[in-house]
DNA sequence: GAGTTTTTAGCACGACCGGTCGTTTTGTCT
DNA sequence: AGACAAAACGACCGGTCGTGCTAAAAACTC
């Protein structure tokens, strides 16, 4: 891998760290360049525009989420085990990757839910895809047969709610019992789904 | 009410509208002044600093939430009826006050969860208080007696999760079925709590 | 209606923003 | 080792930001 690709990766990685704290739209080139001992223009040369950098950062978060959460799930047997591993990994992701404080998706969702553009599209597309993955996994929960489609969406909705509440309790309130509450909530959701058919 | 107080209210109201879209930290004085046909310095004179304006905006959101959600709840008989009205109003709040697109609390939570200061303190304090209110209301759910404290917190957690997921589905995905999913989730949470004792 | 206080506008400041440019350094390949 | 391309630099642009200062205009008081 050439020098250019190396520093580009370093830039995106550092920008991801920063974006979690100041937001994706709050990214600013100058301080980011200082972090990496780069000049602002030297950094900028790697991306034709700020939006390109933001898109790269968001895509990096998507890749990490896929590697850390989705793929391990697909390597686990279908059914409840897969679903539980997926959610467990998701909780870990919210608590923060090593050194990374928080979840970029939640931050960007608040910034770009009503701001049209490429960032909005990439964010919504990836999140929608994850939501559909969750629903697909929910179908395998009952032993008696596949869960109906509308109930799969309901499960995906409720699991997402547990994760979002977990994040609020963890990041905003610093509540020590957050994970316990979340696990309890998820267990009941999965139990109900498993016994629904 | 004097002229000063009138325009000050108009400023805060307009600033609240803007803050929901661009964030509380993303507020900028110039465009805000233009909205109100005021000069930037004329607007600024009403607040000693930008942070003072931001605090006023956040406090205004708290006041509106209290008037629109909390107080109607307290005027409803204790028990499930009160809880359901509270949550119902909360959903309405998320869908957006007349003309106001979205919930400032969710936006600000992502911006200020790790940024110390007066805004963080006001936000966390008010949200924590609301969480405790929810838990207190949950105690009256069972007919057989008050719900134990830890289960009240669990109910508050799960209801919050439903509301957060509802917001994501509504604002980010524009999902038409969001409210139906949310109502289903809440109904099951309240049913379980009612039969727990 | 005169006088006082409050409210507003105009202007300027220093800092920072994303982005451009020409130049110099560094890496890579033969 | 020399040639060429890639990468990084530093100065700079127009613009916007929050924030003071001063004076005019408007609102309130008696």
Give the model's pLDDT for residue B98: 67
A chain contacts of residue B107, beta-carbon cutoff 8 Å: 110
Residue of A122, A161, A183, A192 to mutate, interface with B, max B Cβ within 10 Å = A161
Q: A128 touching B, CB under 8 A?
A: yes
Give the model's pLDDT for residue A150: 97
Instruction: List chain B residues with pLDDT less than 50.
Output: none
| Structure tokens that stand for A141 in this block | 């929960």
Three-state SS string over chain A comes to: CCHHHHHHHHHHHHHHHHHHHHCCCCCCHHHHHHHCCCCHHHHHCCCCCHHHHHHHHHHHHHHHHHHHHHHHHHCCCCCHHHHHHHHHHHHHHHHCCCCCCCCHHHHHHHHHCCCCCHHHHHHHHHHHHHHHHHHHHHCCCCCCCCCCHHHHHHHHHHHHHHHHHHHHHHHHCCCCCHHHHHHHHHHHHHHHHHCCC
* pLDDT at residue A4 is higher than 80: no
Looking at the partner chain, which of A114, A164, A178 has a beta carbon nearest the beta carbon of B101?
Answer: A114
Give the model's pLDDT for residue B102: 86
B chain contacts of residue A168, beta-carbon cutoff 8 Å: 109, 160, 164
Give the model's pLDDT for residue B178: 98
Q: Residue-wise over A149-185: b if at least 16 C-beta within 10 A, else e? A: eebbbbbbbbbbbbbbbbbbbbbbbebeebbebbbbb
Residue B152: exposed, middle, or buried by beta-carbon count in 10 A (0-12, 13-18, 19+)? buried
Alpha-carbon distances, residue B36 vs B20, B27, B31, B50, B97 (angstroms): 17, 14, 9, 17, 20
pLDDT band at A98 (very low <50, low <70, confident <90, very high): low
* pLDDT at residue A38 is higher than 90: yes
Q: A28 touching B, CB under 8 A?
A: no
Asked if strand C comes closer than 7 Å to B7 Cβ, the answer is yes
Nearest to B20 by CA among B86, B89, B96, B131: B96
pLDDT digits (tens, 9 = 90+) for A116-152: 999 999 999 999 999 999 999 999 999 988 999 999 9
pLDDT band at A100 (very low <50, low <70, confident <90, very high): low
Q: A173 touching B, CB under 8 A?
A: yes
pLDDT band at A97 (very low <50, low <70, confident <90, very high): confident
R_g of chain A computed on alpha carbons: 19
Give the model's pLDDT for residue B10: 96
Q: A191 touching B, CB under 8 A?
A: no
Give the model's pLDDT for residue A124: 98
CB A73 within 8 A of CB A53: no
Cα separation, A197 vs A193, whole angstroms: 8
Q: What is the mean pLDDT of residues A173-189?
A: 98
CB A110 within 8 A of CB A81: no
A124 and B173 within 8 Å at the Cβ level: the answer is yes
- Cα angle, residue A101 at apex, residues A99 and A103 outer, rounded to 5°: 125
- Chain C: bases < 7 Å from a protein Cβ: 6-12, 16-22, 27-28
């Amino acid at each position: 891998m050439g020098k250019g690709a190396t520093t580009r990766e370093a830039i995106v990685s550092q920008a991801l760290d920063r974006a979690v704290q100041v937001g994706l739209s709050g990214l600013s080139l100058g301080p980011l360049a200082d972090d990496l001992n780069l000049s602002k223009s030297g950094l900028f040369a790697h991306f034709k525009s700020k939006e390109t950098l933001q898109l790269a950062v968001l895509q990096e978060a998507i890749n990490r989420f896929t590697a850390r959460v989705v793929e391990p799930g697909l390597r686990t047997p279908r059914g409840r085990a897969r679903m539980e591993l997926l959610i467990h990994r998701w909780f870990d992701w919210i608590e923060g990757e090593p050194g990374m404080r928080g979840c970029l998706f939640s931050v960007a969702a608040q910034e770009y839910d009503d701001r049209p553009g490429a960032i909005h599209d990439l964010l919504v597309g990836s999140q929608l895809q994850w939501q559909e993955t969750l629903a697909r996994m929910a179908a395998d929960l009952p032993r008696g047969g596949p869960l109906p489609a509308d109930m799969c969406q309901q499960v995906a909705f409720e699991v997402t709610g547990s994760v979002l509440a977990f994040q609020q309790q963890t990041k905003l309130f610093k509540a020590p019992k957050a994970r316990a509450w979340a696990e309890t909530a998820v267990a009941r959701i999965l139990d109900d789904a498993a016994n629904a058919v």
